[in-house]
C-alpha cells in the first residue's frame, strides 16, 4: 500500500523487571490506514501486550511509537488514549452509568458541548443497531452479553477516533452471537473505514476479520504478516503451518463468497404445476430433487420423486426450504447450509429472495481441490 502507515512501532521492546526474556522484543509493525490488522498467536506470545503498547496502557522499555506521523512515545498517555478507541474482552462498561453516559465517556473527557454529545450518543446507538429511545437510559446490567459488547464498540467510537484497538472483543460471547457480531462489525467497518488493530487467539476469527494477519510467536516476533489468502495458501514456515492447523484449505472457505462459484441450475417448478409434467422433467434432467417456487420466484420447498408420488396435495409435497444463501455469504456458510438442508444442496437467492440457482457439494469440492493443488505447487 502506498499510504503512509497510521501507526508504526519501531524497535519496540517491553521487558519486565526481574524477567530475563522481554515480553516483546524489538518489534517493528506498521498499520495502514483503513485496514483491519489482526494480531494472532498462541497464548503468551505477547499479542495483547503489543496492542497495549500502542495506546501506552503498557509503557515500552525502548523503541518508538509513531501515530499519525507523530512520536507519541513520550507525552501525556491520556491524551493519546482519547484519540484511540479501546475495546477489551470483558467490555468493562461502567455499571453505575447509563448506556448513554457510558458512550459519552470520551466526548465528555474532551469537553464536547452537551447537545453534540447527545446527538453523538443517539447516532452511535443507531450505528450498532440499538434503538436509542429504548436503550439510552438503561444500565449495563440490563443488557445481554451481545448488546453489552455492541455498547462497548459504540463507546470506543465515542469521539470518532481514527483507530480502534480491540483485544479479543468477541472472545467471551457465545458462538452464534459472536458470528453475528463479527458480521455486523465487518459491515460497520465497511462504512466507517477505521484503522483497526484486532487481537485474537482464534485463527478462524483472524481469517474472517483481517485484511492482513500478523501471526506472532513468542516475544511478539512476527512469524508471518500477510493477507489471509496468502497465509492460508502459502504459510511461511512450520510454526505458521502448525498454528493454522490441518484445516487450512477448509478455512479458505470463509474467504470466498457464494458469488465466486458457478451456480448449478436446479430443476424448478413454479406454482401451479402438474404432477406428471414434474415427474417427467425430473427424469429428463436425471435428478430426483427439484425446487418449488411460489408465484414471486421465492423458493419454498424441496420436492423429490417420492414426495410427488405419495403426497395427495401438491402444495404440501416435499420439505420446506429453511436455509437460503445469498451471493454475499461465505462458502463456509454455504457448506453448513448444504449439510443441514434436506436435499444435500442449497438454494441461492438475491437480496429480495428471488431464486438465482443452486449450490452443490460437488462445486465446492471442485474448488477446494483446485485450491489445494495451487498451494501445493506454489
Partner 1 sequence: MSTAVALTAEDAEKKPTSRRWRADSLDLVVTPALFLMLATLLIVVWNYSDFDQTTTNILEPAKLWRQFQEQLFVAFWSTVLVVVIAVPIGILVTRENVPKIKDTLVSILGLGQALPAYGLIVLFFVWLGQGAVTVIIALATFALLPVLRNTIVGLEQVDKAVIEAGKGMGMTGVQRLAKIEMPLSVPVILAGIRTATVINVGMAALAFLIGGGGLGETINAGLKLNRPTAIFVGAVLVALVALAFDFIGGLAQRYLRPKGV
DSSP tag of 277: H
Residue 298: which residues within 8 A CB-CB, separation 6 or more?
A: 349, 353, 354, 355
> Is 291 within 8 Å of 268 (Cβ atoms)?
yes
User: Which 281-340 residues touch partner 1, going by CB under 8 A?
Assistant: 320, 322-326, 329, 333, 337
Query: What separation in angstroms does the CA of 327 have from each of 44, 263, 295, 330?
Result: 39, 10, 22, 8
- Binding of partner 1 by 132 (CB under 8 A): no
> Is 26 within 8 Å of 63 (Cβ atoms)?
yes
Q: Residue 166 corresponds to which cell in the numbers above?
A: 480491540
> Is 149 within 8 Å of 91 (Cβ atoms)?
yes
Nearest approach, Cβ of residue 323 and partner 1 (Å): 5
User: Which 194-253 residues touch partner 1, going by CB under 8 A?
Assistant: none
Distance CA 5, CA 30 (A): 6
Nearest approach, Cβ of residue 257 and partner 1 (Å): 11
Among 15, 30, 57, 188, binds partner 1 (CB under 8 A): 57
- Of the pair 264, 322, the CB lying nearest partner 1 is at 322
Binding mask 138-177 vs partner 1 (x if CB under 8 A, - otherwise)?
Answer: xxxxxxxxxx----x--xx-x------x--------x-xx
Binding mask 85-124 vs partner 1 (x if CB under 8 A, - otherwise)?
Answer: -x-x-xxxxxxxxx------xx--x---------------
Nearest approach, Cβ of residue 9 and partner 1 (Å): 18
- Binding of partner 1 by 260 (CB under 8 A): no
User: The cell 402438474 sits on which residue?
Assistant: 274
How many residues bind partner 1 (CB under 8 A)? The answer is 52
* Through-space distance between the first and last CA atoms of the chain, rounded to whole angstroms: 24
Among 8, 47, 82, 208, binds partner 1 (CB under 8 A): 82
Distance CA 120, CA 185 (A): 19
Among 4, 16, 70, 78, binds partner 1 (CB under 8 A): 78
Q: Residue 272: is the preceding peptide bond cis (ω within 30°)?
A: yes
Distance CA 321, CA 16 (A): 58
Interacting residues toward partner 1 by CB under 8 A = 55, 57, 77-82, 86, 88, 90-98, 105-106, 109, 138-147, 152, 155-156, 158, 165, 174, 176-177, 180, 320, 322-326, 329, 333, 337, 349, 353
Amino acid at each position: 500500500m502506498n499510504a503512509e502507515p497510521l501507526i508504526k512501532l519501531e524497535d519496540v521492546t517491553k521487558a519486565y523487571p526481574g524477567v530475563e526474556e522481554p515480553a516483546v522484543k524489538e518489534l517493528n509493525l506498521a498499520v495502514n490506514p483503513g485496514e483491519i490488522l489482526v494480531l494472532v498467536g498462541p497464548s503468551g506470545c505477547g499479542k495483547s501486550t503489543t496492542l497495549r503498547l500502542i495506546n501506552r496502557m503498557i509503557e515500552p522499555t525502548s523503541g518508538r511509537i509513531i501515530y499519525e506521523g507523530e512520536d507519541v512515545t513520550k507525552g501525556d498517555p491520556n491524551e493519546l488514549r482519547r484519540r484511540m478507541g479501546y475495546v477489551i474482552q470483558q467490555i468493562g462498561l461502567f455499571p453505575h452509568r447509563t448506556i448513554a453516559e457510558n458512550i459519552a465517556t470520551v466526548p465528555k473527557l474532551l469537553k464536547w458541548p452537551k447537545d453534540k454529545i447527545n446527538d453523538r450518543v443517539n447516532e452511535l446507538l443507531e450505528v450498532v443497531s440499538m434503538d436509542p429511545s429504548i436503550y439510552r437510559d438503561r444500565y449495563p446490567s440490563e443488557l445481554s452479553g451481545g448488546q453489552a459488547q455492541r455498547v462497548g464498540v459504540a463507546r470506543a467510537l465515542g469521539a470518532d477516533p481514527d483507530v480502534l484497538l480491540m483485544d479479543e472483543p468477541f472472545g467471551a460471547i457465545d458462538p452464534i452471537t459472536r458470528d453475528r457480531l463479527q458480521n455486523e462489525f465487518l459491515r460497520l467497518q465497511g462504512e466507517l473505514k477505521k484503522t483497526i488493530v484486532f487481537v485474537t487467539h482464534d485463527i478462524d476469527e483472524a481469517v474472517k476479520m483481517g485484511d492482513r494477519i500478523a501471526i506472532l510467536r513468542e516475544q511478539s516476533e512476527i512469524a508471518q504478516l500477510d493477507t489471509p489468502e496468502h497465509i492460508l495458501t502459502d504459510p511461511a514456515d512450520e510454526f505458521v503451518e502448525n498454528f493454522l492447523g490441518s484445516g487450512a484449505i477448509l478455512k479458505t472457505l470463509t474467504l470466498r463468497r457464494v458469488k465466486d462459484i458457478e451456480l448449478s441450475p436446479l430443476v424448478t417448478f413454479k406454482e401451479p404445476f402438474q404432477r406428471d409434467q414434474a415427474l417427467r422433467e425430473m427424469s429428463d434432467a436425471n435428478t430426483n430433487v427439484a425446487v418449488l417456487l411460489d408465484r414471486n420466484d421465492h423458493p419454498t420447498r424441496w420436492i423429490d420423486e417420492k414426495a410427488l408420488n405419495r403426497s395427495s396435495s401438491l402444495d404440501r409435497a416435499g420439505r420446506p426450504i429453511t436455509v437460503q444463501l445469498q451471493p454475499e455469504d461465505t462458502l463456509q456458510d454455504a457448506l453448513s447450509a448444504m449439510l443441514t438442508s434436506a436435499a444435500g444442496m442449497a438454494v441461492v437467492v438475491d437480496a429480495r429472495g428471488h431464486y438465482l440457482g443452486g449450490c452443490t457439494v460437488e462445486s465446492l469440492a471442485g474448488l477446494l481441490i483446485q485450491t489445494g493443488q495451487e498451494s501445493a505447487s506454489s
